Chains A and B, each alone.
Chain A
Amino acid sequence: NAGVTQTPKFRVLKTGQSMTLLCAQDMNHEYMYWYRQDPGMGLRLIHYSVGEGTTAKGEVPDGYNVSRLKKQNFLLGLESAAPSQTSVYFCASSSQDRGYGQNYGYTFGSGTRLTVV
């Protein structure tokens, strides 16, 4: 089925280790997003991309980097993991909104549960 695929689904890191979360979508969406979900905090935007080769900071970008070398992929990197980055990470994508409200919102991946010890 078409959609957004996130890998890995689970990961345990030690403080200071690095890792990359991969998000892949096969819907030819222009926009992609990385969110983190924490209890009582809802979803917070980390970084987003409006097209291949472009990225921008969201609400909570510190400690993360992203890259969008191909339109279908959006990578989230943690260079030096910290316990505060223990969270569930969601990737989402959406098509370009050309101003007529035809956008149907985001399509989400199933999430990556990351624990930093």
Chain B
Amino acid sequence: AQRVTQPEKLLSVFKGAPVELKCNYSYSGSPELFWYVQYSRQRLQLLLRHISRESIKGFTADLNKGETSFHLKKPFAQEEDSAMYYCALTPGGGNKLTFGTGTQLKVEL
């Protein structure tokens, strides 16, 4: 069975500082990895997916199969980045998501 681990429940950084939200996974096949974000009082929404290899709102994430990681990074945090971030996985070709426990990012001025 697949599993997604986000070791940090809360990450607090200052505005302008780099951000790295950690995500590790376990899955025997070739998974698809995602980052979802939930801003205060809003619904969960897709931030980025590894197959797109794109940067969204300045965030990037690289799938490292050797380390089974998919860390989310942004070089300069902004106040509006404060939100709950969930790493998620689906078996390749499917869309049944397994979520990590989430990391609350707080960007302080």
Q: Do A and B bind each other?
A: no
Q: Which residues on A are within 8 Å of B, measured CB to CB?
A: none
Q: Which residues on B are within 8 Å of A, measured CB to CB?
A: none
